[in-house]
């Protein structure tokens, strides 16, 4: 049963350019109705705010959204849920900067600030993690965080997710719940995706999450700090 209120809890939504407007609007509308606060956040590169552009798959003029919260300046543990938005936002957020004067190495993919932020969320089973459509791309730089997790995703991403060791689970609803990790196939499943996240937040708050005792906290010891 979906609770009527989330009691002022905070929801983090990571986004970048090529976001899907109706998805972001759904988070803002539905979580607001549930008395939660949605913080849209991204990497702001030292700016007070950054304006991002939506995708153009409808052929319309791209929409824009102003984001003024940098995830590098918040404590992920203050949030009841961290959501990686759909489309190519996760690809853009995986950008990393090699140390000046050093060649690019494979290990540096772990140093992306957004990857580190989401990995820290994965380390806390009391935070619900959500990834819609292409969102699980945020975790492929640290495949051990996906290994053995039951997920669903857009088929474009599926090969990468399987290579990371995740277990693909078809679902008639388009949403899969694996303890504190909630995944959805595409933007079309955003409403049941939100409902599943909401239910899991409530279960964790009440201590009734039946999965909580079965999965130990995820180790992120191999995620290096960015230079």
Domain ranges for the chain:
10-206
- The pLDDT mean for the chain works out to 90
pLDDT reported for residue 209: 61
Q: Write the DSSP assignment of 144-160 as a string of letters.
A: GGTTT-EE---HHHHHH
* Overall fold of domain 10-206: Rossmann fold (3.40.50)
Provide the pLDDT confidence category of residue 61 given band limits of 50, 70 and 90.
Answer: confident
In this structure, the strands spanning 128-132 and 50-53 are: unpaired
Is the pLDDT assigned to residue 218 strictly greater than 50?
no
| Per-residue pLDDT tens digits for 85-111 | 999 999 999 999 988 998 999 999 999
Q: Is 60 exceeded by the pLDDT of residue 127? A: yes
Region 30-36: mean pLDDT is 97
Q: Which two tokens stand for residue 162?
A: 């399987």
Q: SS in 3 state form for 53-76?
A: EECCCCCCCCCEEEECEEHHHCCH
- Can you give the pLDDT at residue 84? 98
Distance, in Å, from the CA atom of 136 to the CA atom of 202, rounded to the nearest integer, reads 23
């Amino acid at each position: 049963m979906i609770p009527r209120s989330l009691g002022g809890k905070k929801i983090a939504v990571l986004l970048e350019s090529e976001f899907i407007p109706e998805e972001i609007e759904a988070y803002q509308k539905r979580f607001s109705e549930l008395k939660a606060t949605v913080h849209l956040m991204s990497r702001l590169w030292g700016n007070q705010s950054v304006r991002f552009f939506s995708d153009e798959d409808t052929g319309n003029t791209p929409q824009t959204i102003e984001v003024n919260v940098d995830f590098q300046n918040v404590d992920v543990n203050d949030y009841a849920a961290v959501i990686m938005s759909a489309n190519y936002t996760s690809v853009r957020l995986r950008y990393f900067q090699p140390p000046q004067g050093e060649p690019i190495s494979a290990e540096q993919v772990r140093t992306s600030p957004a990857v580190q932020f989401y990995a820290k969320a994965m380390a806390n089973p009391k935070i619900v993690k959500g990834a819609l459509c292409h969102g699980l791309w945020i975790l492929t730089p640290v495949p051990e965080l996906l290994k053995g997790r039951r997920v669903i995703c857009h088929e474009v991403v599926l090969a990468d997710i399987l290579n990371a060791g995740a277990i693909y689970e078809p679902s008639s609803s388009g949403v899969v719940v694996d303890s504190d990790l909630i995944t959805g196939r595409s933007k079309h499943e955003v409403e049941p995706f939100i409902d599943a996240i909401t239910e899991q937040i409530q279960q964790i708050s009440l201590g009734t999450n039946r999965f909580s005792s079965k999965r130990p906290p995820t180790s992120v010891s191999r995620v290096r700090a960015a230079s």
